[in-house]
Structure 1
Amino acid sequence: MRITRRLVIDIPKHSRLEELDDLMRVFCSSKRHAFKRLLNGEKKGNLIKKVNVTFHLNKRYAEDAVMQAEQIIQSQKELLPYQIENVEAKIEKTDKKIEDYTTGKKRPKKSPLSLVIKGLTSRLNKLNEKRNHFVQCVEKNTIPSVIFGGKKNFYARMKGKISNQEWKDLRSNMLYARGDKAKNGNLNTRIVYEEKENQFYIEIANPLLGDGSTKKAPRLRYKIHIPEKYFEEIVNVVMPDVAGYTPKNKVKYKYKPYSIEIKRKNGCYYIHLTYDKEFRGSEVKGRVPLDAAITSGIDVNIDLVTVCLVNRQGNLLNHKTFYCHEMEYVSSNRRTNIAGELAKEIIDFLLEQNAGAISLEDIKLKQDHDTNKRTNRLLHSFAKNKLQSAIISRGLKNGFKIKKVNPAYTSVIARFKYKDMYGMSTHEAASFVIARRGLGLDEKIPTYLLEYVQRIVKIHVKSALGSMEETEKGTEREKIREKKLQAVLTNIKNFKKNHRWKLWSVIHKTLEYNNQGIKLKEV
């Protein structure tokens, strides 16, 4: 598993390292140059040679610049299907809002109705244009426009909120050098230890300072600060091992391959050190079930994480809830800290309970954005991903077997089947379902619920369909609703032939469960 740790170049804050800045500027220019040429179809091999000569960089820097440009293009292409899906979800939600306001189902609280509809229509047109642009990118095998330096900063420069120099600094604030096992570590940047001073330094090859008289580029050298909690781990990575001796009895050193990215931000120079780390734990892939004596299921939410422990037979042993309400409103850096602290608490609890495996939901990058800023923030999946990634990383480090399971209907099953049975909250019951799913156990539908669906839900759906047939020709939305209701009836009729999730889907769409018991939803 690849790990990234952040170090800092030890200089007075807001001081500028001119030689390093110049190298960053050239490297970023070469990356943008490579990006444009790759989009125009130029071959990678020829481009590396051109970048090498044009920007006076050594071959390795040229390869890294072209590789980074290639990765940007590849990542943008991979994101396109998700972007189209997200935009279409927004279009559907906006379309529904317009219809609700037009038909009188909803009324605006503050603004006039005409103004609200005008605003929503304008939003809908923009979303349609955005979707069409993404679709064209897929059809033409290209990508949306990329702004180096950031879209927000680009518009800030257009409005005169930042100076031209500030904009240029934002576009030339990084340097990357990859490690290579075949080349004995990282040739362009290396972290070294000075025994006399008891100090670590970073050495950076700078071809721009060379006069061409030698193949080796002059090296920049700066003191660095290593965080205390990662000190031992990082020292083991950067310090070389003795590989043998030369015929002249000189020591031959073997360096571990690690990649370094240097970024300048808010007057500080940060070093992102990335390397491979072997863990005692492992991830279980495919349909292979977990086989630990005690398995934990973890349900991750924006404000709390619930943990449930089960035995091999899927019986409940213990459960606990960990709260993290700050995740709803704090900054990104603070969220990262909270995620790490919470992951430590959870793993310590699992170690105390002698758990051997962890089952989590396989969270997908899918958003359900609305026009409400607070709702968007709460529904955003990146915070959940931070929590889950922190739990997985610490779990692997401590020797747990980890399996990601399909999250389909975990909350529905929890609500209708296990919530009252064990006297748990919905989230705690959901973590119980996740643990059982990690063990490969199936969730049968309770008899009373099956009878309720057959007797009451079936009649309820048929009644809704009958009332639709009596009305005049409906809108497109009503036609879609009619198809969905027909599908519900088909799933009820063929529930023995279909997968159980089909009927759980029917229950999710037609029923709700609260303190008063089971109630029918409006369908």
Structure 2
Amino acid sequence: MITLHCKLTFENERDKQKLIDLMREFSSCYRYAYNRLIEGHKRKDLKKHLQKVFNLNSRYCDDAIFKAQSLINSCKERGQNPKKVIFGGRKLFEKLKKKHINGIQKEKLQQKWEERRKGSLYSRGDKSKKGNLNTRIIFEEDSLKLRINTGERNWIVANIKRKVNRENDKWIQFIARLLEAEKTGKYFPYSVEIRQINGEIYAFISFEEEIPKEAIITKEEGIIGI
């Protein structure tokens, strides 16, 4: 699995705020789902319940459950107690509790903790939905954009900003695969996690790397075939 990141910018503050509000709603749903899974609730029943509690579509709710279950599994694999997880980060939480930290330093720590706790949106990839339904990369007017579902068939579009500094940058291969998928209709799934970091918005895109077919020598052709 490869994960690449890019910065997101917006044409207006209204769209950016819509995304921030959506990220807060999803983060709240994610924490809620995590606690319900710890209590023993089943995924199928929990998904229906989340749709009633949070202003999110079924796919976002399911992704919140998936992300929560992944964290639980990760804790168990590391021999940690899932019940003791602190969203936003234990280290940051412990620092904020220290009385000698105040002023600008405390404000920065508080912002960082709040962003980690509330500033996240996750959408799993789906091959049958052109790669990703809720957060889809699109080509528009010779530029790359991320179309984000904000609910009830409403969408906002963010500009994708990323510099390519070397020829073997995986980003080049990723975009080439997206362009090829647009032409052939043979899409591949890619997951997107949007995070708020120091007031800016970033997207982390994960996908399975395309493995080249092994080269074989054929006597009939007398050449190396793929």
* Alignment of structure 1 residues 463-478 onto 2, 5 Å: none
Counterpart in the other structure of 2:209: 277
- The separation in 1 between residues aligned to 2:88 and 2:38, in whole angstroms, is 19
Amino acid paired to 2:39: N
Determine whether 1:76 maps to 2:75.
yes
Give the CA deviation at 1:39: 0.4
Q: How has the CA–CA distance of structure 1 residues 152 and 10 changed in structure 2, closer, same or farther, with 3 Å as cutoff?
A: same
* Alignment of structure 1 residues 130-141 onto 2, 5 Å: none
For 1:219, which of 136, 152, 155 is the aligned residue?
Answer: 155
Amino acid paired to 2:72: I
- The separation in 2 between residues aligned to 1:18 and 1:156, in whole angstroms, is 29
Determine whether 1:174 maps to 2:120.
yes
Give the CA deviation at 1:274: 1.0
Give the CA deviation at 1:154: 1.0
* Alignment of structure 1 residues 404-419 onto 2, 5 Å: none
Give the CA deviation at 1:232: 2.8
Give the CA deviation at 1:194: 1.2
Task: Indicate conservation of the 8 Å contact 2:192/2:204, yes or no.
Answer: yes
Give the CA deviation at 1:54: 0.8
- The separation in 2 between residues aligned to 1:183 and 1:194, in whole angstroms, is 18
Counterpart in the other structure of 1:36: 35
Determine whether 1:146 maps to 2:93.
no
- The separation in 2 between residues aligned to 1:256 and 1:280, in whole angstroms, is 15
Give the CA deviation at 1:11: 5.8
* Alignment of structure 1 residues 62-211 onto 2, 5 Å: 62-80=61-79, 143-159=82-98, 161=101, 162-163=106-107, 166=111, 167-195=113-141, 198-207=142-151, 210=152
RMSD of Structure 2 on Structure 1 (CA): 2.6
* Alignment of structure 1 residues 208-247 onto 2, 5 Å: 210=152, 217-228=153-164, 229=166, 230=169, 231-239=171-179, 240-242=181-183
Determine whether 1:22 maps to 2:21.
yes
Counterpart in the other structure of 1:5: 4
* Alignment of structure 1 residues 361-380 onto 2, 5 Å: none
Q: How has the CA–CA distance of structure 1 residues 52 and 144 changed in structure 2, closer, same or farther, with 3 Å as cutoff?
A: closer
Q: How has the CA–CA distance of structure 1 residues 266 and 168 changed in structure 2, closer, same or farther, with 3 Å as cutoff?
A: closer
Give the CA deviation at 1:165: 6.4
- The separation in 2 between residues aligned to 1:268 and 1:255, in whole angstroms, is 30
Give the CA deviation at 1:227: 2.9
**Ranges of 4+ aligned residues in structure 1 off by more than 6 Å:** none
CA deviations 1:474-521 (Å, max 9, x no partner) are: xxxxxxxxxxxxxxxxxxxxxxxxxxxxxxxxxxxxxxxxxxxxxxxx
| 3-state DSSP of counterpart to 1:5 | strand
Counterpart in the other structure of 1:468: none
CA deviations 1:320-351 (Å, max 9, x no partner) are: xxxxxxxxxxxxxxxxxxxxxxxxxxxxxxxx
Give the CA deviation at 1:144: 5.0
* Alignment of structure 1 residues 469-508 onto 2, 5 Å: none
Give the CA deviation at 1:59: 0.7
Amino acid paired to 1:202: L
Give the paired residue count. Answer: 200
- The separation in 1 between residues aligned to 2:63 and 2:84, in whole angstroms, is 22
Q: How has the CA–CA distance of structure 1 residues 254 and 278 changed in structure 2, closer, same or farther, with 3 Å as cutoff?
A: closer
| 3-state DSSP of counterpart to 1:17 | helix
| 3-state DSSP of counterpart to 1:279 | coil
State the TM-score, normalizing by the size of structure 2.
0.79
Amino acid paired to 1:151: R
- The separation in 1 between residues aligned to 2:31 and 2:71, in whole angstroms, is 10
Larger radius of gyration: 1
- The separation in 1 between residues aligned to 2:208 and 2:115, in whole angstroms, is 31
Give the CA deviation at 1:22: 0.6
Counterpart in the other structure of 2:47: 48
| 3-state DSSP of counterpart to 2:133 | coil
Task: Indicate conservation of the 8 Å contact 2:10/2:157, yes or no.
Answer: no
**Larger relative strand fraction:** 2
- The separation in 2 between residues aligned to 1:268 and 1:50, in whole angstroms, is 32
State the TM-score, normalizing by the size of structure 1.
0.36
- The separation in 1 between residues aligned to 2:162 and 2:116, in whole angstroms, is 25
- The separation in 2 between residues aligned to 1:201 and 1:72, in whole angstroms, is 29
Q: How has the CA–CA distance of structure 1 residues 280 and 63 changed in structure 2, closer, same or farther, with 3 Å as cutoff?
A: same
Q: How has the CA–CA distance of structure 1 residues 192 and 182 changed in structure 2, closer, same or farther, with 3 Å as cutoff?
A: closer
Give the CA deviation at 1:168: 3.1
| 3-state DSSP of counterpart to 2:27 | helix
Amino acid paired to 1:205: N
Structure 2: tracts of 5 or more residues without a match: 215-226
Q: How has the CA–CA distance of structure 1 residues 255 and 280 changed in structure 2, closer, same or farther, with 3 Å as cutoff?
A: closer
Q: How has the CA–CA distance of structure 1 residues 237 and 172 changed in structure 2, closer, same or farther, with 3 Å as cutoff?
A: farther
The alignment-based identity, stated in percent, is: 35
Determine whether 1:257 maps to 2:198.
no
